[in-house]
Every structure is written in structure tokens, then in C-alpha cells.
């Protein structure tokens, strides 16, 4: 064998070894993640169909409604992130996420009815309702359709209707790759991007990577925890598909009677600020908090958001 042929053989062996190690790591990680999301939740068989949920903690009930790419597990993370604890957190997996199937009617209104039915099944007469991103749609519908169930309404970077500037996603090259991974339910593609090019996924989640790069280590880890929370992607794909083609229309927001707080950021790459402003202008007495920076994950404002939510709930008489 020539010297060049020998070098090529060594290179091929090295490449094959690297690929083999990567696949082994991926399979081990995927197995761990699948096991993790199979724990810590229950399934309630309601008239509308089975709804997966977690019921954690003690205190005032809080319904945590996750956004796109989530599930009960992300609902628990979001509730802890926003409140710092002290609540009984009920975190459902919305339609198409994890063990909650897609019903014939998967509209936000139907999802709101499922939220109300779940609260009734758990003997919870009223709860603080937190809707994040796409989860804000069914949170608002819950406040409209079942006002007796909502003690207070908190909408975080809400992906709601705006007549002038709709919620949107930047179609950069990186986002097209992330869209491709989502559209094929690509567990490996998401895992590989998280490993070698996390900035692609950070941007896909509505945050400028440069903002995360200069954030404190704890905040960078917080952002990456959201990136990792979408795995396994294939178990969340049906729900992401529903959230990706929303049929948004104007709702009678002036009929909402629950004390309401709305939080967004000017540099949210999903452009939720116009919808937040539109909703705040129409919901009676709604409090609007806007940060100049932070993106869709409100990077750098975790403690401020937590304090603002607690002050709001105290002012609404929900917590002492």
C-alpha cells in the first residue's frame, strides 16, 4: 500500500470511529431523554380525550401552559423559572406533545376546554394561569370561556393575534435548517446542532446568539436548558406542527375579567411585542411590561420577571 493510500485508510478509520462514537452518544442520550419524559407525569382520561399532566408542589394552584416545543416537563421548568416556587403547579402537555394525542379539534378553544376539564378533575376550582408563547392562545381562551377558573392571567411573550404586525419567524439559513429538523422530527439533527452549533437553535428559539454569548454563565445555562428541553423532538413534533400553522384571529379580549399581566421584549425574534401591546390595550386593566432586550426567552431578566410576576399576583390579591 502506498503512503497516500495508508493515510487515506487512517483518515477513513478516524472518520468512521468519530461517527460511531457520535451515534453511540446520541443513542444513549436519546434513551435517557425518552426515559426522562416517561417519568413524572400522569394521564387524565377526560371527555375530550387523554391529557398528560404533572401535578407538583403545594400552595396556590398554578396552571402552567407551555409554548411550542414543550410538554409537561417544560411547563414545570417555566413555572419554577417565573415564580421561584411556592405554588401547586399543574403542567399539562398540550395537544400533540408527549403523551397527549391530537384530537379531531385541536384549536386553542378546544385546548382551553381541556385545561378547564383537567382543573375540574383535579378538584381545582380556580388557578393562576400562565401562558407562554403559543401557550398564551389557550390561556386567553380559558379566561374567555371559563372565567370562573382563572384567578389571574399571566401571558409571557404571547404568540397572539396582532392586526398590524403578526408573530413571525426569521427565515435565516440557520432557521431553515432548524425548520428542516423540526419538519422531519429529526432527533439526531437537533441533538447534533445542540452539540456543534447551538447558536442555530438559540436563534430558532427567538433569541439573538450574541445576546447569550455575553450573558453570565448561569443565564447561558438557562438558555441551553430550554434548547435541551425540546428533545426528544420526535415526541413533540405533532404539537409543533399545530403551533406552526396557527389560525389567529381577533378575540373579544375586552370580555376578560381576570387580572392580567403581559410581558414581552422589543428584540423578540418572534415579534410578539405587537401582539402583547394589542392584548394589553384591550384587556381591561392589563399590566404590560416590556424589556428592550432579552429576546423570546427574556434573557438577562429572569429575576426581574420573577419579581414582577410576584408583585402583580400580590396586587391582584392572589397571594398574600
CA distances from 35 to 55, 57, 59, 194 (A): 19, 22, 29, 20
The string of pLDDT tens digits covering residues 117-126 is 999 999 999 9
- Cα 33 to Cα 228: distance, rounded to the nearest angstrom: 10
Distance CA 141, CA 112 (A): 6
Buried b (16+ CB within 10 A) or exposed e, 196-207: eebebbbbbbbb
pLDDT, one tens digit per residue, over 35-67 is: 566 678 999 999 999 999 999 999 999 999 999
Q: Where exactly are the structural domains of the chain? A: 1-39, 42-167+252-315, 173-240
What does the radius of gyration of the chain's CA atoms come to, in whole angstroms? Answer: 21
H-state helical runs in 146-298: 173-183, 187-196, 198-204, 209-213, 217-229, 237-244, 273-282
Closest CA to 278 of 136, 109, 164, 133: 164
DSSP, collapsed to helix, strand or coil, labels residue 294 as coil
Name the grid cell of 133.
408563547
Architecture of domain 42-167+252-315: 3-Layer(aba) Sandwich (3.40)
Each residue of 263-274: pLDDT tens digit? Answer: 999 999 999 999
Identify which of 53, 49, 50, 51 has the alpha carbon closest to the alpha carbon of residue 62.
Answer: 53
Report the percentage of the chain scoring pLDDT > 70: 82
* pLDDT tens per residue, range 96-106: 999 999 999 99
Residue 51 · residue 96 · CB < 8 Å: no
Distance CA 55, CA 223 (A): 24
E strand spans, the chain: 42-46, 49-56, 60-65, 87-92, 127-132, 150-156, 260-265, 287-291
Whether 1 shows a pLDDT value over 60: the answer reads: no
Lowest mean per-residue pLDDT among 3-7, 19-23, 104-108: 19-23
Q: For residue 116, what pLDDT is reported?
A: 98
Residue 235 CA, chain-centre distance (Å), reads: 14
Residues near 143 by Cβ (< 8 Å), separated by ≥ 6? 129, 150, 153, 256, 257, 258, 260
pLDDT recorded at residue 143: 98
Output the nine-digit C-alpha cell for 211.
445576546
Asked if the model's pLDDT at residue 294 lies above 90, the reply is yes
List, as own/partner pairs, every contact residues 245-249 make where C-beta atoms lie below 8 angstroms and the sequence separation is at least 24, other chains included: 246/134, 246/137, 246/159, 246/167, 247/107, 248/137, 248/160, 248/161, 248/166, 248/167, 249/161
- Residue 97: partners with Cβ closer than 8 Å, 6 or more residues away: 52, 66, 70, 71, 72, 235, 236, 238, 239
Contacts of 196 (CB under 8 A, 6+ apart): none
Average pLDDT value for the chain:
86
Pair 121, 46: CB distance under 8 Å: yes
* Whether pLDDT at 10 is above 50: no
CA distances from 159 to 66, 108, 172, 198, 212 (A): 12, 12, 20, 24, 22
What predicted TM-score, i.e. pTM, was given to this entire model? 0.86
Amino acid at each position: 500500500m502506498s503512503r497516500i493510500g495508508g493515510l487515506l485508510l487512517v483518515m477513513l478509520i478516524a472518520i468512521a470511529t468519530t461517527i460511531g462514537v457520535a451515534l453511540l452518544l446520541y443513542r444513549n442520550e436519546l434513551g435517557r431523554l425518552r426515559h426522562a419524559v416517561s417519568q413524572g407525569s400522569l394521564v387524565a382520561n377526560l371527555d375530550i380525550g387523554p391529557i398528560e399532566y404533572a401535578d407538583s408542589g403545594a400552595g396556590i394552584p398554578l396552571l402552567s401552559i407551555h409554548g411550542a416545543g414543550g410538554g409537561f416537563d417544560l411547563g414545570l421548568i417555566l413555572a419554577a423559572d417565573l415564580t421561584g416556587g411556592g405554588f401547586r403547579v399543574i403542567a399539562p402537555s398540550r395537544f400533540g406533545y408527549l403523551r397527549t394525542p391530537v384530537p379531531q379539534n385541536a384549536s386553542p378553544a378546544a385546548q382551553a376546554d381541556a385545561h378547564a376539564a383537567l382543573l375540574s378533575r383535579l378538584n381545582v376550582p380556580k388557578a393562576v394561569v400562565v401562558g407562554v408563547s403559543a401557550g398564551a392562545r389557550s390561556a386567553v381562551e380559558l379566561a374567555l370561556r371559563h372565567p370562573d377558573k382563572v384567578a389571574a392571567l399571566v401571558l409571557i411573550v404571547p404568540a397572539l393575534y396582532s392586526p398590524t404586525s403578526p408573530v413571525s419567524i426569521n427565515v435565516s439559513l440557520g432557521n431553515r435548517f432548524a425548520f428542516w429538523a423540526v419538519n422531519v422530527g429529526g432527533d439526531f439533527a437537533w441533538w447534533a446542532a445542540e452539540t456543534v452549533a447551538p447558536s442555530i437553535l438559540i436563534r430558532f428559539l427567538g433569541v439573538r446568539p450574541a445576546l447569550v454569548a455575553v450573558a453570565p454563565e448561569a443565564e447561558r445555562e438557562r438558555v441551553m436548558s430550554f434548547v435541551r428541553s425540546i428533545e426528544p423532538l420526535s415526541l413533540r413534533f405533532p404539537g409543533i406542527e399545530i403551533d406552526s400553522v396557527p389560525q389567529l384571529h381577533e378575540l373579544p379580549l375586552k370580555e376578560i375579567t381576570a387580572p392580567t399581566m403581559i410581558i414581552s421584549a422589543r428584540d423578540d425574534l418572534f415579534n410578539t411585542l405587537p401582539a402583547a401591546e394589542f392584548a394589553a390595550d384591550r384587556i381591561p386593566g392589563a399590566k404590560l411590561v416590556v424589556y428592550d432586550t432579552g429576546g423570546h426567552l427574556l434573557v438577562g431578566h429572569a429575576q426581574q420577571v420573577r419579581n414582577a410576576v410576584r408583585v402583580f399576583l400580590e396586587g391582584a390579591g392572589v397571594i398574600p
